[in-house]
Amino acid sequence: MAASTEHGRNERKEAAARAYVNALSVDFTLAEFTLDFLQALGGSSVQEAAGARLVTAPANMPLFRDVLSAAIADYERRYGALHPAREDR
């Protein structure tokens, strides 16, 4: 699995389709991790619309963690600390 060290715009010519997501659901078995990226829709009852589903081998998860940690650290150096979004339910 290739890990990108450059953060920012996707410069690939064939970029994947994009979907706005603001929620994440994670499930796993011995053989795979499933990450469902979701759109939590507001209103009187919260609904979740599918954004994207990723399925990968458990061995890839430490790489994902490391790439995300590096990206978050780079973001915070550039723009300031991130704070978890507040849930108003």
Q: In what order do the strands lie in the sheet with 23-28?
A: 23-28, 33-41, 47-56
pLDDT in tens, 8-24: 555 666 777 888 888 88
pLDDT computed for residue 89 by the predictor: 45
| Cβ atoms < 10 Å from Cβ of 61 | 14
Q: Where do the domains of the chain lie?
A: 23-79
pLDDT in tens, 32-85: 999 998 888 776 555 667 778 999 999 999 999 999 999 999 999 999 999 987
Cα first-last separation, the chain: 38
Cα–Cα nearest to 38, from 52, 55, 27: 52
Q: 43's torsion region: left (phi>0), alpha (psi -120 to 50) or beta? A: left
pTM of the model: 0.69
